[in-house]
Amino acid sequence: MPSISKILIALCFAPALSWSQGYQVNLQGQAQQGMASAGTGLIQDAASVFYNPGGMSFLDKSEIIGGMSPTFSNGIFTEANTDEFARTTSPVGTPFAAYGVYKFSDTSKLSLGLGIYTPFGSTVEWEEGWVGRFAVTRLQLMSIFIQPTISYKLADAIGVGAGFIYSYGKVNLQKDLPLQFQNGDYGSVELAGTGSGFGFNVGIYFEPTKWFSAGLTYRSQVNMNLKKGTATFNIPNSLEDKFPSGSFTSSLPLPSVMTLGLAFKPTDQLAIALDINHVGWVAYDTLAFDYEQNTESLEDTKSPRNYENTFAFRLGAQYDFTDKIIARAGLSYGISPVSDGYVTPETPDANRVSYTVGMGYGISDRLKIDASLLYTQVSRTDRNLETNLEGTFKVMAFAPGLSISYIFK
Amino acid sequence: MNRYLTFIAIIIIAASCKPKKIETQSELGDVDVTSIVAIGGNSFAGYSDDALHREGQEYSIPSIVLSRMEGSNQFNPFSQPYLSSSSDGINLNGNSKLILGYKTDCKGVTSLSPIRKATSGNLNDLNNWIYGTDGPFYNLSIPNLKSEDLNNVGLGNPANGTGNYNPWFSRIASNQVNSSILSDAAALNPTFLFLSVGQDEITEFAKTGATGTVLTNAVFYNNLQNIAATIPNAQGVISKIPNVLLTPYFNTIPYNGLTLDSDQATTINSVFNPIGITFQVGDNGFLIEDASEPFGVRKMVEGELVLLGIPLDSVKCFGMGSIVPIPDRYILSLDEITAIDQLISLYNNEISSYAAAYNYALVDPTQTYLSLQSGIVYNGVSMSTEFVSGGAFSLDGLNLNPIGNALLANQYIKAINNKYNARIPLAPVTNYPGVYFP
């Protein structure tokens, strides 16, 4: 059997970038990913810490899961009118998630859980000298959420749960500046910083019959505040006093997500799940950088983003072939939060259809492996109102993922 | 086992999947590219940074347009009378081109300023006849082109004496004694012409403070017609004359740049109050020559323009503009401005008529100048008519730099596309060089 590591090594040579709706990465829990990331109304495993804390207390056993979804994507931008084009050279995205649920006893109504996951982030890098280089050459956005969670089964059919979120994030934005050195090279700036924020994740889970269940969750907005970022200018000597390297502050909202999930189990083998997400992207109104030291040339910037609240619809199904093998498939449709005129090369977003498949394999009663694969593509033509960059972005992305679960019996 | 192999195969196939470029078709339409010839002045020759230099030539307007015309490969590279790549540039005064550097003024203040790249240019760049080794040239544009020069046999003949020949044409004429620009052009059997005539004579008039003389528009039109008479059946694109008064050369030094404290104001007033001129503390219009005034001097008023060619050290340290009036040649008065505007308008009417009569595509560069004046953002880069920092004009403040040329070249491409059913892709403006900083 070829080892998974070999597959991953082979894949690492492919240029990639990770993109999802806005800068949100919907890659949590392999069982759920196989079903288009629907899992709010269907309690499968410890990933319920993320998908629905209210359903966590419905798990029979204590359980831990660790998984990763390397994200490969290729983007191309074709400029309107000039026929110039450029490709992305982004590295592989590495969203990961680990969840643990602890039950005091099989009959305990109380469960404790912990989730460590990366719900937002991506690295987008464009080839050298591309036509949009004065807008962005590279953006790395990384966030880790740590979510201790408590869940309580109020009755046989209903459970509630709540988690506290601490998030830590990193941002690194690079772009060229239209200031040329004597040799013709362009200057550049790198804005790097770390930030942290707080939030919560609450949910209620309802399972009135064997064949129907539902969930409602709300993950709050988390504001990542960059208190002391570092701006580093690489520019001709004669301009150094105009563009002093130094500190800046900024903040990035990670939007709230409210989800209604429904699940149907018409037979013992088949489960169908539907999640409807409402994402509070309206919070991403402006990307502002406040430089500690301003000059005539270096003023604070406020770039309008004007994101809008959006919906995403996720439909998935799974079928138990045997006790050990489960197959999954899903389809999702996400509406872009980015209005016309605001598409940027760091998140060239569009309405998108995503296709997923997945498989679960029980190695033993205690050990389970889940694999998933997501494929999506987007295409968006726009003229950005701030930079006037005009053209068509096309992105293809796919994310194979693998997780291992251990159930304490 | 097979299952894993299938899974791996899927992943590898998906990983190698790349989105495709939007397919577009570049077409030359009805443009006859058999022989493309350019006849123009500074902007077509690539004169910028107050000299002819290699980079300016490489990014001359016709050169940029032709580089975007796929399928006209016989013109890539366009046959232009290049200076050697090691040249520092040369102008008629023997100077090298301007670059940005540090300059210390009369007050001892050192600042970033246009300075000459070398103590002098290499006069061989100007004086060597290069037709024999590098000709023929399809870009027959020369700096300081005057419309009456087009048909002037012997325009390149140094024996005619200074002022009666154009050394830029001497370099590139097939025969210095017997050829004119139009005869050399006709010898190439042009099928498509790039034309820009009249701009240099208007610019010259304006930058000498409207102190010279210009042709009437009727004579100008007759000179244009010499082109069609010599080369009757060519297609082409012709440029109107841009409003040169929108360039940084005329808009960098404010009319009221004379700033006085109370002591200075008192001193100057003691001299000028008796002849009815009063200066105040703060900003004042410069003192200028004006022959129509009783004492031959007056203060500048709003709307009048100071030329960038003014000797700044004289202003800063030797009382020019305060005690000593600024000579007329460095100033455009309101009347002169009106005269220049009218002249441009008259010439442009003739160019429009000529374009209509001979069925050429027509370009109006003033549109590019106006959009720069109000400021544009191109792929995240802000550009304006600000001197140096505006990014689109060269360091002489009069001629565009390669970025500015690319902006203007796109107007040519649009005009050609429109006239000749072509689909030539525009030039990616921000890929062209701009201002180099030390």
Give dist(CA A192, CA A171) in Å, integer. 6
| pLDDT of B346 strictly over 50 | yes
Give pLDDT, residue B15.
61
| Average of per-residue pLDDT across B30-54 | 95
Quick one: CA dihedral A338, A343, A346, A349, positive or negative?
positive
Nearest to A14 among B1, B15, B100 (CB): B15
Contact B4 A2 (CB under 8 A): yes
- What average pLDDT does the structure give for chain A? 90
Chain B, nearest residue to A1 by Cα = B1
Chain A residues touching residue B404 (CB < 8 angstroms): none
Nearest C-alpha neighbor of A177 from the set A239, A90, A249, A252? A239
- State whether residue B425 sits within 8 Å of chain A by CB: yes
DSSP secondary structure letters along B35-70: SEEEEESHHHHT-BTTBB-HHHHHT-HHHHHHHT-T
Q: Is B102 on the interface with A (CB under 8 A)?
A: yes
- Tell me which residue in B19, B425, B431 faces A76 most closely, judged by beta carbons: B19
Residues of B in contact with A78 (CB under 8 A): 21-22, 24
Whether pLDDT at B257 is above 60 = yes
Q: What is the pLDDT of residues A267-309, one digit of tens each?
A: 999 999 999 999 999 999 998 899 999 998 888 989 899 999 9
Q: What is the pTM of this model?
A: 0.91
> In this complex, do A396 and B428 lie within 8 Å of one another by their Cβ atoms?
no
Answer yes or no: do A134 and B430 touch at CB < 8 A.
yes
Handedness of CA B400, B403, B406, B408 (dihedral sign): negative
**Which of A81, A137, A242, A393 should we substitute to test contact with B (largest number of B Cβ atoms within 10 Å)?**
A81
| Distance separating alpha carbons of residues A63 and A189, to the nearest angstrom | 46
Q: Which residue has the higher pLDDT, A356 or B24?
A: A356
**Predicted confidence (pLDDT) at residue A16 exceeds the cutoff of 50:** no
CA distance B171 to B157: 10
Q: How many CA atoms lie within 13 A of B394 on its CB side?
A: 29
B323 touches chain A (CB under 8 A): no
Q: How confident is the model over A144-197, as pLDDT tens digits? A: 999 999 999 999 999 999 999 999 999 899 999 999 999 999 999 999 999 999
Closest residue on chain B to A14 (Cα): B15
Residue of chain A nearest B112, judged by CA positions: A238
The pair of structure tokens assigned to A45 is 């495993």
Strand spans (E) along B263-402: 282-284, 287-289, 297-299, 305-306, 331-332, 361-363, 376-378, 381-383
Q: How confident is the model at residue B19 (pLDDT cuts 50, 70, 90)?
A: confident
Quick one: tokens of B186?
Answer: 């006709």
Within an 8 Å CB–CB cutoff, is residue B13 touching chain A? no
With an 8 Å Cβ cutoff, are B430 and A75 in contact?
Answer: no
Tell me the pLDDT band of B12, cut-offs 50, 70 and 90: low
Q: Distance between CA atoms of A73 and B17, rounded to whole angstroms? A: 9
Asked whether residue A11 carries a pLDDT value surpassing 80, the answer given is no
Give the ipTM of the model, two decimals please.
0.89
Does residue A248 surpass a pLDDT of 70?
yes
Collect all residues of chain B within an 8 Å Cβ-Cβ radius of residue A11.
Answer: 11-12, 15
